């Protein structure tokens, strides 16, 4: 079959992407897709039934040509709106006049610093309203690929600016309010737009030390996957009912995300219940192609697109689907019903958006230019910037004294305009730089650009120092920007780049008030500025958007009071030398000081949640309702709750008093929980609730209620299950512990519980009643989406937990991997791997090529299972962890079991110990390996022990 790509070109010619189908007079009039009384599933199914196979395949890319013969217009699925309607393939800004701009809010990293969920919902409502206006004018589609909800784990990540911060609970609350604002509720009759949670999953590397996002394999323990990397996505799917997901460029544990049925089907759709007919998954752009290269996961392009489609990726942002699905279909690699399912999901989403319905019966088709950049939106953009701006140091210089009439405004951000928008931005109605705002406030301003962000030269110093000498006070505006942190660009250092540190140091010697404004998303080490008495104040401004200059200058002069809190940890310079960006683990180890405020074992320069005010506050947290709680009782009260992690536990009130005498200020209430309960290591503390109080007057008080759930008290075990453990819990109000409270939970300790075989779901569980467990995984069961689940039902109880992890899938490589001989014993492996990584390597993995422990062993004896000691092979057997022959072929008869699995596009056989079920490796067959049996044997050699033959 030949896919008619020419049809795409013809269909796209002369059509606007935002055009609507004609259900009144067009060819679709009599089709069920135009029947507003039918369900979205029925309507989309009826539409797709009219497509030919060629037309179906042509419409699998983001630039969909539609079907001209049916009157179905072309549609562009790719629109962006990270912090306002943004330039992207589907968004068309006019050169002037109407639709030539849209409101540009601060980047999410700064809005996250506000810790104000109501603000985020309001911003999202404005953004999606303006998006609808553009769509109604045929200037955009209605599907927007936002938000980026990956946690900001590593300060070097170039796209951390796009996220709200590092804390998973904060991200969950943020994204819930964002999604419901963007879409117009949890399940409205008509969605305002379709939002897209991206990038699923474990994506936080662009280009570091030769590791490029397109081919990076993120090795993540199930514990970290459940506890950290997927929590915000669970909220997107299960709680906020988001319309779309985007699978990421990277692989997760050997499988590219867009071909990873474990992520896309087992977790997302089956376990989280994200199964509405109008919910679809798109790839990141060209991520389907990246499955083939540079992941080298599949042998052919046809296998690539089939693997992605079968795994659940419905839409290709790119051209790989339209170009290669035809060949894949001819080879029988997917069924037409699978293709139909993907298209039905997409067009059912358009049905929910009112795409096929008369304009006069739905609420959003009347939105127009009058609803774009309204006074309300402009004020909100300013408020969002003010609320997020964070005061890191102040010796009393701020707010500036009215006696200061002249200022030197110096630095690469001093006259920033588009720089304030960061990335993924659109055309703003205006951009108020700090220079413009300062002049508007009536200051006499001596402006000098000074050295650039990453400028290594000093030629600008004389002019800048002349400006500084002429002024009453100095404001230096610098930091980092998208020239050093951006998509496809990670950082290598946490220092202020270029000559900025030397320049600031020289300014601090002038004996004048010096305020340093630090811009950018990722933090930079302020350890030289904070103790410097010549630096009087330090303010972090992120990327503050269209009104950023006005917001920050209003804070400097006291027209607004700072109350933002740092949503990420500021690490010292040497952090980048202590842990590789490629290390995905959160917990500390010999090669990792720990990540985020929860696990970092060093001393941060500025801690997560820190932020100063122009006034002082005290606070008192209410007492627990009881000194201790029985876990069995707590769980029994949640028997009718659909999601036990959301079951209410307790509400605490905090009374916050502004003890200052002159400044009205907001206050962010942060409630942390700490304690040594559950397995070690223990987190330093975790955020469990927050709220922002507004405009607390001098000597006045306000009260907030902070709600905790059972999920707030839980820990996550090695298998990703959420568990309540008995022990002492400490509640800590604010980063400086303004108030603390303690309580106990009682019940059996899971670590001492007896493991029992689970009911009929086929995997080993801990029967810990009354201990509280929320399984992370869907029950292991035989499904087409879970190839290793079928294996689980055949394995002994002792290894079903290892199969449950499913962290190692087949990784096809072109050309065959090879490498120098390198020997590591168990101790050496443990020194470079986390305990979880070592366990997975032993139970489910195979070492890198040439690293096998027994490759060149010449002694006489036997190789025995490391798990139970059962003899497996004679010492004459060849072991090559780079995969070779023989190996399992020469096993002692009856010593190993074979479990065939054909879900990888070839025959793969898992090998386990007959006696105990320990995983030993796998075999591939039928790929032209040029061995006597055309088999490639891959041995997990550290699952073996060598036993010397007894001497006579």
Q: At what angle do helices 375-388 and 548-557 cross, to 10 degrees?
A: 50
Q: At what angle do helices 40-48 and 336-352 cross, to 10 degrees?
A: 130
Beta strands 935-939; 944-948: pairing state:
unpaired
Tokens of residue 48, six digits: 């797709």
Q: Is 284 a catalytic residue?
A: yes
Q: Which residues contact 554 (CB under 8 A, 6 or more apart)?
A: 386, 437, 560
In the set 224, 278, 284, 526, the catalytic residue is 284
Asked if residue 818 lies in contact with residue 850, where contact means CB atoms within 8 angstroms, the answer is: yes
Asked if residue 128 lies in contact with residue 182, where contact means CB atoms within 8 angstroms, the answer is: yes
Backbone dihedral region for residue 628 (phi beyond 0: left; psi -120 to 50: alpha; all else: beta) = beta
Backbone dihedral region for residue 878 (phi beyond 0: left; psi -120 to 50: alpha; all else: beta) = beta
Q: Report the C-alpha gap between 562 and 596 in whole angstroms.
A: 24
What 27-36 contacts at long range (C-beta under 8 Å, 24+ apart), as own/partner pairs, is 27/69, 27/70, 27/71, 28/70, 28/71, 28/72, 28/356, 33/347, 33/351, 33/356, 34/356, 36/357, 36/358, 36/361
Among 738, 654, 735, 651, CA closest to 701: 654
Distances (CA, A) of 867 to 281, 512, 797: 41, 70, 14
Q: Report the C-alpha gap between 245 and 197 in whole angstroms.
A: 5
Q: Report the C-alpha gap between 620 and 624 in whole angstroms.
A: 13
DSSP tag of 143 = B
Among 454, 446, 468, CA closest to 412: 454
Tokens of residue 787, six digits: 């190839």
Distances (CA, A) of 183 to 127, 148, 237, 279, 892: 10, 16, 13, 13, 61
Continuous H helices in 19-107: 40-48, 53-58
The sign of the dihedral angle between the CA atoms of 247, 251, 253, 259 is positive
Q: Report the C-alpha gap between 449 and 426 in whole angstroms.
A: 25
CB-based burial label for 332 (10 Å; 0-12, 13-18, 19+): exposed
Q: Report the C-alpha gap between 644 and 711 in whole angstroms.
A: 7
Residue 646 phi, psi dihedral angles, 5° rounding: -95, 0
Give buried/exposed letters for 663-701 (b at 16+ CB in 10 A, else e): bebbbbbbbbbbbebbeeebbbbbbbbbbbbeebeeeeb
Asked if residue 922 lies in contact with residue 908, where contact means CB atoms within 8 angstroms, the answer is: yes
Residue 101: HSE in the Cβ half-sphere, 13 Å Cα cutoff: 16
Among 91, 66, 62, 88, CA closest to 15: 66
The DSSP secondary structure of 648-698, one letter per residue, reads EEEEEEEEEEE--SS--EEEEEEEEEE---SSSSPPS-EEEEEEEEEEEPT
Tokens of residue 505, six digits: 């140091």
Asked if residue 573 lies in contact with residue 493, where contact means CB atoms within 8 angstroms, the answer is: yes
Alpha-carbon torsion, ordered 747, 753, 758, 764, to 10 deg: 130
Backbone dihedral region for residue 830 (phi beyond 0: left; psi -120 to 50: alpha; all else: beta) = alpha
Q: Report the C-alpha gap between 543 and 540 in whole angstroms.
A: 9
Asked if residue 902 lies in contact with residue 924, where contact means CB atoms within 8 angstroms, the answer is: no
* Residues that are catalytic: 284
């Amino acid at each position: 079959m030949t896919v008619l790509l020419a049809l795409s070109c013809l269909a796209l010619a002369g059509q606007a992407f935002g055009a609507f189908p004609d259900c009144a007079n067009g060819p679709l009039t009599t089709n069920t897709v135009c029947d507003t009384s039918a369900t979205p599933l029925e309507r989309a199914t009826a539409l797709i039934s009219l497509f030919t196979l060629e037309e179906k395949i042509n419409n699998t890319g983001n630039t969909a040509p539609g079907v001209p013969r049916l009157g179905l217009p072309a549609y562009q699925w790719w629109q962006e709106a990270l912090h306002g309607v943004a330039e992207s393939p589907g968004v068309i800004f006019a050169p002037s006049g109407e639709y030539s701009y849209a409101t540009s809010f601060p980047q999410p990293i700064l809005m996250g610093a506000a810790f104000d969920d109501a603000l985020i919902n309001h911003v999202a409502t404005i953004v999606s309203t303006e998006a609808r206006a553009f769509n109604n004018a045929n200037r955009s589609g209605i599907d927007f690929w936002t938000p980026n909800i990956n946690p900001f784990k590593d300060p070097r990540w170039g796209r951390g600016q796009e996220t709200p911060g590092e804390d998973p609970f904060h991200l969950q609350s943020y994204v819930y309010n964002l999604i419901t604002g963007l879409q117009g509720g949890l399940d409205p009759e008509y969605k305002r737009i379709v939002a897209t949670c991206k990038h699923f999953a474990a994506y936080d590397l662009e280009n570091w030390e030769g590791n490029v996002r397109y081919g990076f394999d993120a090795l993540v323990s199930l514990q970290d996957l459940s506890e950290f990397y997927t929590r915000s996505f669970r909220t997107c799917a299960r709680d906020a009912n988001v319309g779309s997901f985007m699978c990421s460029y990277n692989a997760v544990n050997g499988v590219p995300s867009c071909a990873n049925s474990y992520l896309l089907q087992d977790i997302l759709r089956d376990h989280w219940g994200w199964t509405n007919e109008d919910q679809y998954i798109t790839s990141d752009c060209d991520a389907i192609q990246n499955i083939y290269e540079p992941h080298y996961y599949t042998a052919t392009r046809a296998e690539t697109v089939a693997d992605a489609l079968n795994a659940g990726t419905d839409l290709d942002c790119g051209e790989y689907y339209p170009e290669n699905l035809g060949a894949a279909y001819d080879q029988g690699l997917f069924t037409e019903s699978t293709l139909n399912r993907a298209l039905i999901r997409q067009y059912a989403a358009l049905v929910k958006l009112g795409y096929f319905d008369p304009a006069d019966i739905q609420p959003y088709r009347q939105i127009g230019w009058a609803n774009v950049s309204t006074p309300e939106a402009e004020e909100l953009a300013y408020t969002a910037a003010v609320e997020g701006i964070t005061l890191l140091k102040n010796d009393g210089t701020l707010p500036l004294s009215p006696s200061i009439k002249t200022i030197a405004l110096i630095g690469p951000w001093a006259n920033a305009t588009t720089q304030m928008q960061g990335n993924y931005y659109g055309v703003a109605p205006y951009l108020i730089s700090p220079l413009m705002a300062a002049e508007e406030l009536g200051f006499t301003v001596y402006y000098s650009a000074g050295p650039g962000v990453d400028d290594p030269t000093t030629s600008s110093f004389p002019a800048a120092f002349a400006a500084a000498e002429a002024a009453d006070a100095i404001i230096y505006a610098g930091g980092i920007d998208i020239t050093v942190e951006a998509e496809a660009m990670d950082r290598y250092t946490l220092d202020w780049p270029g000559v900025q540190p030397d320049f600031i140091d020289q300014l601090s010697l002038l004996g004048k008030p010096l305020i340093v404004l630090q811009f950018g998303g990722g933090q930079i080490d302020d350890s030289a500025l904070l103790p410097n008495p010549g630096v009087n104040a330090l303010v972090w401004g992120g990327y503050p958007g269209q009104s950023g200059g006005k917001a920050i200058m209003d804070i400097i002069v006291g027209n607004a009071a700072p109350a933002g809190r740092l949503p990420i940890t500021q690490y010292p310079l040497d952090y980048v030398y202590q842990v590789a960006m490629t290390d995905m683990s959160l917990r500390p180890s010999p090669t990792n000081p720990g990540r985020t405020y929860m696990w970092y074992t060093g001393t941060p320069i500025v801690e997560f949640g820190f932020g100063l005010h122009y006034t002082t506050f005290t606070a008192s947290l209410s007492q627990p309702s009881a000194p201790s709680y029985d876990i069995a009782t707590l769980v029994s009260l949640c028997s009718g709750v659909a999601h036990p992690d959301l079951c209410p536990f307790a509400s605490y009130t905090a009374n916050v008093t502004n003890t200052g005498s002159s400044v009205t200020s907001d206050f962010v209430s942060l409630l942390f929980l700490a304690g040594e309960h559950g397995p070690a290591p223990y987190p330093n503390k975790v955020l469990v609730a927050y709220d922002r109080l507004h405009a607390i007057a001098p000597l006045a008080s306000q009260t907030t209620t902070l709600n905790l759930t059972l999920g707030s008290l839980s820990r996550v075990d090695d298998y990703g299950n959420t568990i309540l453990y008995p022990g002492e819990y400490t509640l800590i109000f604010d980063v400086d512990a303004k108030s603390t409270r303690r309580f106990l939970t009682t019940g059996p300790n899971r670590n001492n519980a007896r493991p029992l075989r689970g009911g009929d779901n086929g995997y080993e569980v801990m029967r810990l009643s009354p201990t509280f467990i929320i399984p992370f995984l869907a029950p292991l069961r035989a499904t087409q989406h879970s190839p290793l689940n079928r294996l689980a039902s055949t394995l002994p109880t002792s290894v079903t937990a290892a199969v449950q992890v499913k962290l190692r899938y087949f990784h096809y490589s072109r050309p065959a991997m090879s490498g120098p001989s390198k020997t590591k014993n168990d101790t050496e492996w443990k020194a470079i791997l986390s305990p979880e990584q070592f366990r997975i390597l032993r139970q489910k993995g195979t070492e890198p090529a040439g690293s096998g422990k027994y490759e060149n062993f010449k002694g006489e004896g036997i190789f025995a299972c490391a798990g139970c000691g059962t003899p497996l092979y004679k010492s004459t057997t060849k072991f090559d962890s780079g995969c070779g022959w023989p190996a399992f072929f020469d096993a002692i008869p009856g010593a190993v079991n074979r479990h065939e699995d054909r879900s990888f596009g070839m025959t793969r056989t898992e090998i386990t110990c007959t006696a105990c079920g320990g995983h030993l490796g796998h075999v591939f067959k039928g790929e032209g390996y040029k061995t006597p049996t055309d088999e490639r044997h891959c041995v997990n050699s550290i699952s073996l022990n060598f036993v010397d033959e007894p001497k006579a």
